[in-house]
């Protein structure tokens, strides 16, 4: 691994690890653009886990004159002012924006693995993951529904993976979909007391641990219109959600619900709470994407490490164009930095 001479530094803060994501997508564009704006944006030091040849070529393609160095996480902060630190993975590849290359799938997976490893070992203070194209990874042995499940498997202890929870956030609006990428008809069967209670406990714990919010105020949406109207519009709210809330309250969790989903996201209502638990994917994502379409952050709770990501996909059609918005990736990086400071 070729390193530049290290500058003299009295202290070296831990860097944030950034996995490169799908090379054919906009992840590399966003990383390069953010590094070029590091001083203007007052960004914390970060190290990219990925292929240095691809990053060099993409920077040239975008017309960005940035210096790059390969290094270990322990040295990244010292280089960051003058060089984009990269933990190099894989051999030289030809950059091909917009075009999926099956040969790069393994380094995409390995970049996540090594970035997570360096977080678990304490060499980095947080992990920001650029978007992946799951369909491009399956032939390379990727067997997970997404980033979140993969990271949970990497963080397992004693063969038992943690229970990861996806939270979307923009400023003080935080939403958690209790069920995620499943058909709507399956939601009622998946929305169990065990799921609600386990999720709420992790959320309350991580809001205190990661955000320094003590006695966090939680609210849960009803599944049915008007939260079921006492059982006249479906039984799930009365028979599953309400008893779960009562049990959580007895456990000491500050939670209310079920509340009608058609009114909870009216600002004077949601601002009463630190997080809103939604019963299914769109119930959570519609309000936050309406408010902050390109500024939302995906945060994974329930892991032993801090992990954030932009709330968008690979956007293959924009890769290499220089037209991709950095807003969500910037928000993810700043959120990771803020969360790590709360932990300190």
Instruction: Note down the domain range covering 24.
Output: 1-163+300-344
Strand ranges across the sheet with 297-301? 68-70, 84-88, 46-50, 16-19, 126-129, 307-310, 297-301, 165-170, 173-177, 275-278, 218-221, 255-259
Cβ–Cβ < 8 Å for 162, 202 = no
Token duo for residue 281 = 């994917």
* CA-based max dimension of the chain: 71
Mean pLDDT, the chain, rounded, equals 92
**CATH number of the domain that residue 320 is part of:** 3.40.718.10
Whole-number pLDDT of residue 9: 47
337 and 286 co-located in one domain: no
Whole-number pLDDT of residue 249: 97
User: pLDDT tens-digit profile of 167-215?
Assistant: 999 988 999 999 988 899 999 999 999 999 999 999 999 999 999 999 9
Whole-number pLDDT of residue 10: 41
Whole-number pLDDT of residue 247: 97
pTM for the whole structure: 0.91
Average pLDDT over residues 47-67: 95
Angle between helices 147-154 and 105-120 (to 10 degrees): 50
Cβ–Cβ < 8 Å for 227, 260 = yes
185 and 104 co-located in one domain: no
User: pLDDT tens-digit profile of 260-293?
Assistant: 999 999 999 999 999 999 999 999 999 999 988 8
Report the domain count for the chain: 2
Average pLDDT over residues 140-150: 86
9 and 151 co-located in one domain: yes
152 and 19 co-located in one domain: yes
With a cut of 50, say whether residue 97 has pLDDT above it: yes
What burial class does residue 195 get, using C-beta atoms within 10 Å of its C-beta: 0-12 exposed, 13-18 middle, 19+ buried? middle
With CA atoms as reference, report the closest residue to 52 among 68, 75, 29, 30: 68
Whole-number pLDDT of residue 264: 94
95 and 182 co-located in one domain: no
3-state SS, residue 166: strand
Average pLDDT over residues 325-331: 94
Average pLDDT over residues 292-296: 83
Is the previous residue joined to 31 through a cis bond, with omega within 30 degrees of 0?
A: no
* Owner of token pair 């006492």: 230
How many whole angstroms separate alpha carbon 69 and alpha carbon 71? Answer: 6
276 and 311 co-located in one domain: no
Whole-number pLDDT of residue 233: 93
Query: Which alpha helices (DSSP H) does the chain contain, by range?
Result: 27-36, 52-62, 73-79, 105-120, 134-137, 147-154, 187-190, 193-211, 236, 242-251, 261-264, 267-270, 281-291, 327-343
């Amino acid at each position: 691994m070729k390193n530049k001479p290290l500058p003299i530094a009295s202290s070296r803060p831990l860097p944030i690890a950034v996995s490169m994501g799908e090379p054919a997508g906009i992840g590399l564009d966003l990383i390069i653009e953010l590094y070029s704006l590091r001083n203007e944006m007052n960004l914390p030091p970060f190290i990219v886990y990925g292929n240095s040849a691809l990053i060099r070529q993409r920077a040239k393609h975008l017309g960005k004159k940035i210096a790059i160095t390969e290094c270990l996480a322990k040295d990244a902060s010292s280089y960051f002012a003058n060089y984009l630190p990269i933990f190099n993975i894989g051999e030289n590849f030809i950059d091909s924006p917009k075009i999926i290359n099956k040969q790069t799938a393994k380094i995409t997976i390995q970049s996540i693995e090594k970035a997570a490893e360096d977080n678990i070992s304490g060499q980095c203070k947080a992990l920001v993951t650029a978007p992946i194209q799951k369909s491009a990874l399956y032939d390379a042995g990727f067997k997970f529904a997404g980033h979140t499940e993969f990271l949970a498997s990497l963080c397992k202890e004693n063969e038992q993976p943690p229970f990861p929870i996806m939270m979307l956030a923009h400023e003080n609006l935080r939403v958690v979909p209790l069920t995620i990428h499943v058909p709507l008809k399956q939601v009622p069967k998946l929305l169990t007391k065990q799921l609600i209670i386990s999720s709420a406990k992790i959320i309350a714990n991580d809001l205190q641990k990661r955000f320094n919010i003590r006695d966090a105020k939680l609210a849960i949406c009803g599944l049915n219109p008007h939260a079921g109207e006492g059982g006249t519009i479906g039984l799930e709210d009365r028979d599953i959600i309400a008893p779960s809330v009562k049990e959580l309250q007895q456990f000491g969790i500050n939670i209310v619900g079920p509340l009608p989903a058609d009114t909870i996201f009216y600002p004077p209502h949601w601002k009463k709470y630190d997080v809103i638990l939604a019963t299914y994917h769109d119930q959570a994502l519609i309000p936050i994407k309406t408010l902050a379409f390109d500024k939302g952050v995906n945060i994974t709770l329930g892991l032993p490490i801090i992990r954030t990501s932009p709330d968008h996909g690979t956007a293959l059609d924009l890769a290499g164009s220089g037209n991709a918005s950095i807003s969500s990736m910037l928000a993810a990086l700043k959120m990771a930095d803020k969360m790590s400071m709360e932990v300190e």
